[in-house]
Chain A
Amino acid sequence: MSETTAHDDAHHGYRAGGVKRWLTTTNHKDIGTLYLVLSLIMFFIGGAMAMIIRLELFQPGLQFIEPQFYNSMTTMHALIMIFGAVMPAWTGFANWLVPMMIGAPDMALPRLNNWSFWILPFAFTLLLSTLFMPGGGPAGGWTMYPPLVLQTGEAFPFLIFAVHLMGASSIAGAINIIATVFNLRAPGMTLMKLPLFVWTWIITAFLLIAAMPVLAGAVTMLLTDKFFGTSFFSAAGGGDPVMFQHIFWFFGHPEVYILILPAFGIASAIIPTFARKPLFGYSSMVYAAASIAFLSFIVWAHHMFTVGMPLAGELFFMYATVLIAIPTGVKVFNWVATMWQGSMTFETPMLFAIAFVVLFTIGGFSGLMLGVTPVDFQYHDTYFVVAHFHYVLVTGSIFAIIAGAYFWLPKWTGHMYDERLGKVHFWLSTISVNVLFFPQHFLGLAGMPRRIPDYAVQFADWNMVSSVGGFVFGASQLLFVVAIIKCARGGVKASAQVWEGAHGLEWTLPSPPPFHSFSAPPDPATIEGGMR
């Protein structure tokens, strides 16, 4: 994608070429590209681990890998996908889009921006290197519950430091986005005129700043428990293993919304564009996202209903959890109302966005079911949970990432992507992802626990179906790579507006946009008239 940013403004002066350009860049588009490329690589590494998992689960009995390695695959798959694929993708989108959407030349803190990206390759090298260490990679689950996680071999401190680095990177990225949005908005771009992608990202950034240090604290306590004789989480030393779960999920639940809120922003950009109709309920979208973020801090214990909390605690967390259904419902209804009486066309971004709304809603339904404590005593730690969070993470976050990529690729590269390829990618992905994850609801309800390498024979049929779906879904993502490379290399020239129904400042810039997005503030009249 090097042509993307080949334009240089005369006043900018020296720019390194080759590798040095990417190492030293402080440009928001270069850094956005770096984040997105890293995210794509991690998506395939994490995906390869998922393929190994589905291969072993293809039939009962152990055919390919030992249980310990299986456990390290599930653990690493989760860590890589969450911290390596989805979170960097969002930061990549934010880098590319936030300055263009608010009428700014670049991010507010360009050097911090460079640094926050370049931490990540080291973090993931550290994490992935554990697979080759004595004792193997971390295998206690991405949730790192003690005492089990303390049984990790030599990988343990590497796991902890990798998590620290990922956290530091996310916090730096979040600070940068907040600083950019609060300081670099063009004249006339008031908060309630911000595109929803920017809104959802500010809220996400605050969640990151509040949640990531909590995770850092929790894993640091694990580290001192292991190496420095403390017993924060060791019952034998007067500590409390359940306290780790409380701290972890105090991070972990906001983290869930860190992964999904920017997806809401992307859907809110794409659906009005292809429905050629303004987004329904802009302000209620903002308030819904904010209430979801607030609620995300008071529902953490619904991940641990089965630890045996007092009745009052279980009731509180159940009520708070099901309450989230209301603002989430508002969002879904608003998207549907946006399509209603629109004039729709179905280019690839719109197809992925519609699939996102439908399939994320299915994940929302199972989430509501899981929030009801007495029934969660059955669902908890089964494949029903696996189905739930893959519907919200894969067909939620990742579908939104793919939708957003197709939507803005023409803007970023200056070329249209191959529409036919995009559609084939869409149909293969959407059908196979449901073959992959829908049967897992049945498996969970029928009694299959999660995180097991082998299972009783009554679960064999649906596991085989699920694995077949998984292989097809994995393979179809190669089409995505082909589509991206083709688009970066050339194709039909994209206009500035790209999409007939597109509104917003980024569509007023040429495709690809200049090196410094807005060297002069955009016309306030464009902001007043063009934003919807």
Chain B
Amino acid sequence: MTTAKIQPLLRGLTAALALAPLLAHAEWGNLNLPHGVTPYSETVYELHMLILWVCVITGIGVFGAIFYSIVRFRKSKGAVAAQWHENTFVEFLWTAVPAVILVVMAVPATKALIMMEDVSKSEMTIKVTGLQWRWRYDYIDQGVFLYSGLATTSNLARQLNSGIDPHTVENYLLEVDHELVVPVGRKIRFLTTASDVIHAWWVPALGWKRDAIPGYITESWALIKEPGVYRGQCAELCGKDHGFMPIVVRALPEAEYLVWLDQQKAAQKPKTAAIDQGNQHIAATR
């Protein structure tokens, strides 16, 4: 009675493990990591698939052996227990083989990590500041900054018993009032920090997340290859509205980006001028 039950279970588990990557290859994006749009996100995707396959194959071996034992070595089928309980060669083998596999996996992992941490030769810098519960983006050396928070449509729908069906809201919880606009094809350096509690800035299509920590400024980078809109969310618990501080990155071709930047500069001139004036005033009164 038990075999009949345990067999489909184990088979199901192995199948589920094996199925995940297969489905992913069929572009069922809802089950797997996205490929993303940066060189780093591609590298991460490939590394992820490599480790996943190593796990799947090991899993098939281990679970297969358990499954086989359950079927074959049953007392009810007259199996008589052997009494061996050691085998130096086998034990050596299953220590050494995983060690070798780990070393093989460590090579691409190390390369990917070195790639991620190399922010040199970046062509522009954006400072990302997390605050409860929105983001501030400063275009360093451009005199442009903006605050980016949850779009009103989502904000209305997400209230307790709002009566608004989230399915009717476009990009529910993943839409902002002001998008972060960046150019494609430029290596962008991101400086991440926070002004109150810890947040984490995460856009899956870029391939990484980075904690935004008060008192710290950390560096990361992204080079977006394709124009498009890429969405993400705060990934570090930051209080009651942690689930409601999305990130939207709009990647534009260089020329369109420059047009946008000029518009922003023009619009923000009065603001920045006022700040400059204030600073001068402070300097004068010192």
Contacts and interface: CB of A to CB of B under 8 A. Distances in A.
A332 B94 CA distance: 10
A381 B106 contact: no
A344 B117 contact: no
B161 interface: yes
A41 interface: no
Contacts of B261: none
Nearest to A382: B235
A373 interface: yes
Contacts of A519: none
A140 B105 contact: no
B83 A336 contact: no
A190 interface: no
Interface stretch (B1-9, B136-144, B270-278): B1-9
Given A61-B165, A235-B216, A372-B105, A308 B58 contact: no
A240 B215 contact: yes
B215 A277 contact: no
B266 interface: no
Centre residue among A318, A377, A431 by max chain B CB count within 10 A: A377
A286 B95 CA distance: 15
A188 interface: no
Interface string B160-183: 111011110001111000000000
Nearest to A446: B30
A481 interface: no
A369 B69 contact: no
A368 B11 CA distance: 22
Interface in B51-93: 51-52, 55, 58-59, 62-63, 65-66, 69-70, 73-76, 79-87, 90-91
Contacts of A362: 13, 17, 59
Contacts of A446: 29-32
Contacts of B5: 427
Interface string A350-390: 01001001110110011011001111011011100000000
Contacts of B66: 336, 339, 354, 357-358
Interface residues of B, number: 106
B86 A280 contact: yes
Contact of B105 (A311, A322, A451, A453): A322
Interface string A60-90: 1111111110010000000000000000000
B228 interface: no
Contacts of A361: 59, 62-63
A387 B3 CA distance: 27
Contact of A342 (B81, B164, B207): B81
B81 A343 contact: yes
A438 B44 contact: no
Interface in A336-352: 336-346, 351
Interface string A311-326: 1001100110011011
A74 B200 CA distance: 19
Given A314-B117, A374-B109, A454 B243 contact: yes
Interface in A163-180: none
Interface stretch (A145-153, A219-227, A490-498): A145-153
A322 B102 contact: yes
A71 B239 CA distance: 8
B213 interface: yes
Contact of A344 (B48, B74, B114, B172): B74
A71 B240 contact: yes
A102 B245 CA distance: 56
A378 B13 contact: no
Contacts of B52: 369
A242 interface: yes
Interface stretch (B120-128, B190-198, B250-258): B190-198
Given A62-B158, A151-B197, A431-B9, A306 B211 contact: yes
A447 interface: yes
Contact of A377 (B31, B44, B166): B44
B116 A377 contact: yes
A66 B211 CA distance: 25
A378 B33 contact: yes
A141 B114 CA distance: 32
Given A278-B83, A380-B235, A241 B214 contact: yes
A464 to B, nearest CB: 13
Contact of B215 (A235, A318, A325): A235
Given A62-B161, A308-B216, A341-B73, 20 more contacts: A62-B159, A64-B160, A71-B237, A71-B239, A148-B239, A308-B220, A318-B113, A322-B105, A332-B62, A333-B62, A336-B65, A354-B70, A362-B13, A368-B51, A434-B13, A446-B31, A449-B233, A449-B235, A452-B233, A457-B166
Query: Top 4 A-B pairs ranked by shortest CB distance?
Result: A235-B215, A308-B218, A452-B243, A374-B112
22 contacts: A60-B172, A61-B165, A61-B166, A64-B160, A67-B244, A235-B216, A304-B211, A307-B213, A308-B218, A314-B117, A336-B66, A337-B87, A342-B82, A346-B6, A373-B109, A374-B43, A375-B109, A447-B233, A453-B243, A454-B158, A454-B243, A460-B167
Interface of B: 2, 5-6, 9-10, 13, 16-17, 20, 29-34, 43-44, 47-48, 51-52, 55, 58-59, 62-63, 65-66, 69-70, 73-76, 79-87, 90-91, 94-95, 98-99, 102, 105-106, 109-110, 112-117, 157-162, 164-167, 171-174, 192, 196-198, 200, 202, 204, 207-211, 213-216, 218-220, 232-244
